[in-house]
Amino acid sequence: MKEDKRISETKLLLGVGILILLIDIFLMEYWVSIIKPYPSMSIGLESHRIEIFGVNILIGVIVFFIRKRLSILFFINSIICYWIFSFFWNLWIENHPYSTTEYTFQIENRHFKLGIDKNPDHFSIDEIISESKDSLITIGMYEKEGDSLKLTNMQETMYFYTDYLIGFSINSTKIELKKLNKNKH
């Protein structure tokens, strides 16, 4: 009788453990897709891992007072989640590589460079002062809007459309861009 109870309790523990693991996999993948990490965000990985570890330990302590044997799953889960989250974090970065496309343009006798980053979706406009020196004019984020990119920063909104920049504060008319051949990865 005791052995049957122990076997059924072990089966229950195993079933709950598998259920927790499946829920973890779904939640970790979803959470990483919301965070949308990029390579220079690796420091943020540790803070999220600590959150995951802390939440599992907290749940484990609460469950310990309700059902001691079940709490072991959450203590084990705190370590497993750490690795699951890291897996999805790295997978996201591999499937969404960082790259920059650069364009140059000229207004009067001033030369500028527009950099459009992919993952994260940032842009920057620099004034080219000399071959080795640039001066940052603006930086911001962009989003796809129809067949163009809407470039937004604190002061202005511009549009990038088929090698043209529209709405730049120095010259708000349609500015023709020349794509630089180098593509950074």
Does residue 136 share a domain with residue 77? no
Domain boundary among 46, 62, 95: 95
Does residue 58 share a domain with residue 27? yes
- Does residue 42 surpass a pLDDT of 50? yes
Find out whether the peptide bond into 120 is cis, omega within 30 degrees of 0. yes
Does residue 88 share a domain with residue 132? no
Report residue 185's pLDDT band, with 50, 70 and 90 as the boundaries.
Answer: very low
Q: How many structural domains is the chain composed of? A: 2
What average pLDDT is seen over the chain? 85
Mean per-residue pLDDT, 14-40? 87
Does residue 21 share a domain with residue 51? yes
Coarse DSSP helix, strand, coil percentages of the chain, rounded to the nearest 5 percent: 50, 35, 15
Percentage of residues of the chain with pLDDT beyond 70: 92
Does residue 17 share a domain with residue 50? yes
User: Tell me, what's the pLDDT at 7?
Assistant: 79
Does residue 131 share a domain with residue 169? yes
Q: Which residue has the higher pLDDT, 1 or 113?
A: 113
Mean per-residue pLDDT, 4-30? 87
**CA 128 to chain CA centroid, nearest Å:** 30
Instruction: For the chain, report the end-to-end CA distance as a whole number of angstroms.
Output: 65
Does residue 119 share a domain with residue 82? no
Could you report the per-residue pLDDT of 145-174, keeping only the tens digit for each?
888 999 998 888 899 988 899 988 887 788
Does residue 31 share a domain with residue 105? no
Could you report the per-residue pLDDT of 54-91, keeping only the tens digit for each?
888 999 899 899 988 888 888 898 889 888 988 998 88
Assigned token pair, 35: 């965070």
Does residue 70 share a domain with residue 119? no
Does residue 67 share a domain with residue 32? yes
- Does residue 95 surpass a pLDDT of 80? yes
How big is the chain, counted in residues? 185
Domain residues for the domain of 134 are 99-184
Does residue 61 share a domain with residue 13? yes
CATH number at 133 reads 2.40.128
Does residue 140 share a domain with residue 91? no
Domain boundary among 44, 77, 95: 95
Residue 84, SS3?
Answer: helix
Could you report the per-residue pLDDT of 129-139, keeping only the tens digit for each?
877 677 878 88
Domain boundary among 42, 75, 95: 95
